[in-house]
Amino acid sequence: MTKKTMKETTMDLRLSGKTAVVTGGSKGIGLAVVRELAAEGMRVHAVARTAIPETAELGDGVTTVELDLTAPSAARQLAERVGAVDVLVNNLGGVADSSMAAGGFLDIDDAAWQYTYELNLFATVRVTRALLPGLLDRRGTVINVSSIGARAAFQPVDYGTAKAALTNLSKALAEEFGPRGLRALTVSPGPTRTQNWGAADGYAARLARAAGEELEEFLARVPERMGITTGRLTEPEETAALIAFLASPRAGNLTGADYLADGGVIKTV
């Protein structure tokens, strides 16, 4: 099949020429989203605390913005730099090291709770508030990347509760600003083949050590242990493709919903 034929058979998401901001855009799902949106012809501002590696192959139309979004003034700085945008993907998030190492609820102190909420909720609140006027002008879309931890009582508890609040935020934004043209949605990934699940110092590696197993052995057993229906971890590019579709006019009447990207971990309807 020629490149021309392949292009002709690809669904046009009608995103070309639009502008997006992707937070946490330097690795994992965020980086995959940056690439996917750029491939659809969008101008993408990839925001991260650390520089994106030159080897990342971001494609045309990508601008990198180095900002620590947990800083109170960062959202205002971001808004001043990028101006009005059509799509905001709030992907910033993560698990505090101390929470990851905790044995349970009683081991997670106030500092860890505060950090977790700053990273997974408050930074997103500030960024969304700062960019909302432009999103409303453009009848734009906000997509918050939550987690299946928002729906099930996985450890650590501080991370799951912060993500549950983020999911609630999406619904609240959809309800309040839907009449003005804004769409707000949530995507909730399950175990995804990112550094968190593959690196020697990641979340899965800690779980493997606690279980007395080698990382590769542990990862091979994750689908069975977590009840992943498809029998494998999700690839970042798969979640990025879902986010691109939800951001597009093709999904123009979808709002207020939470889309699972977990391979079937969550069993409830």
Q: What is the pLDDT of the chain when averaged over all its residues?
A: 92
Q: Domain count of the chain? A: 2
| Across 17-32, average pLDDT | 97
The reply to whether 117 belongs to the active site is no
Q: How many CB atoms lie within 10 A of CB 34?
A: 31
What average pLDDT score do residues 162-177 get? 98
Q: What is the biggest distance separating any 2 CA atoms in the chain, rounded to whole angstroms?
A: 59
Can you give the pTM of this predicted structure? Answer: 0.92
d(CA 6, CA 17): 21
Q: pLDDT-based confidence at 9, cuts 50/70/90? A: low
CA pair distance 22, 124, nearest whole angstrom: 11
Model confidence over 103-126: pLDDT tens digits?
A: 899 999 999 999 999 999 999 999
252 and 47 in contact (C-beta within 8 Å)? no
DSSP strands (E only) in 131-195: 141-145, 183-189
Do 48 and 115 have their domain in common? Answer: yes
Residues 127 and 219 in one domain: no
213: in domain: yes
Do 184 and 207 sit in the same domain of this protein? Answer: no
- Residue 5, both tokens: 């034929």
Segments forming the whole domain that contains residue 204: 198-233
Q: What is the pLDDT of residues 189-242, one digit of tens each?
A: 999 988 777 777 777 787 788 888 888 888 888 999 999 999 999 999 999 999
Spatial separation of the C-alpha atoms in residues 263 and 259, rounded to whole Å? 12
| Residue 10 domain flag | no
Same domain, 66 and 29: yes
d(CA 237, CA 29): 7
Residue 161 within any structural domain of the chain: yes
Q: Is the pLDDT of residue 4 over 70?
A: no
From the list 172, 198, 197, 196, the residue with the least C-alpha distance to 185 is 172
pLDDT digits (tens, 9 = 90+) for 119-162: 999 999 999 999 999 999 999 999 999 999 999 988 899 999 99
Looking at 115, 117, 159, 203, which residue is catalytic?
159
